[in-house]
Amino acid sequence: MVENALKCYKIDLKGFMPEGFRYNLSTVRILNEQNLTFMVSKEVLPAFDIYYQEGLRRPQMAYYYGEKTNLVLLPASGPEISRPFYLYGEDYEGAWKAVIDSVIENEDVCVFLWDSEKVNRAEYMTQVLNTIEYAREKGANFTTPYEIAKHFLLLQNVSATVSGNDDGSKITISVKNGNKEAVHGVTFRVEVPGTAEYTVKNAKISRKMRSWDKCVYYVSTDLEPGEMKDIVLEMR
């Protein structure tokens, strides 16, 4: 399949989306044997109230009879154009923005399926552009399904051990890259008491969120093949 796509159509096939999201174990086996990186495996309904929220929009590794494969399963987020969700009707923009809010809050992944032919229609174009701008304003990072799956696959071979002082003044994250290639943007979420301020060594603070009782540090680093590193957070 991959060779034919490259030879006949000059397409470097990285992933697959089954029609109607219908697949079985044979599909997983074939895609894994063909060295495809990801499959868009399901569609999650748009978030509303407490429903279709945390944990439903995260990548997962595919298994074949209990054995982990190298195939990443990615969830798509509805609604698709021309397939409105009854709670939002034709307000696709409202539904997509609700998904983005949920993804930002729960640190999930958002994959929209936008048909290029339909997107070009005037009645949908504005809603799509407004959604993209909304995602930018919310701090979302834009990338491709392949890059998401590739990064998630590399993280399977990154391990970490966390240790700290009894008083919480020093936290050490010992991380190792077990891959034969570099991994960029390995990020750890560290939660500390709200009044504490920390400096970080061997990593950078990519984001910090504070509430009345806690502070969450997101510390990121790059790892070379086989590299081991100690990321240290020390209280000021």
Please write the tens of the pLDDT for every residue from 106-124: 999 999 999 989 999 988 9
Domain 157-235 class in CATH: mainly beta
Domain boundaries, the chain: 2-148, 157-235
Residue 217 contacts residue 201 (beta carbons within 8 Å) = no
- pLDDT tens-digit readout, 94-105: 999 999 999 999
Q: Which long-range contacts (CB under 8 A, 24 or more apart) does 119-122 make?
A: 119/81
Section 17-30 average pLDDT: 96
Q: Number of helices and strands (H, E) in the chain?
A: 6, 11
pLDDT of residue 9: 62
Judge whether residue 7 has pLDDT over 70: no
What is the pLDDT confidence band of residue 75, given thresholds at 50, 70 and 90?
A: very high
CATH of domain 2-148: 3.20.20.370
Residues 113 and 96: beta-carbon distance below 8 Å: no
The pLDDT value recorded for residue 4 is: 72
pLDDT tens, 162-195? 999 988 899 999 999 999 999 999 999 999 987 7
Q: CA 2: distance to chain centroid?
A: 25
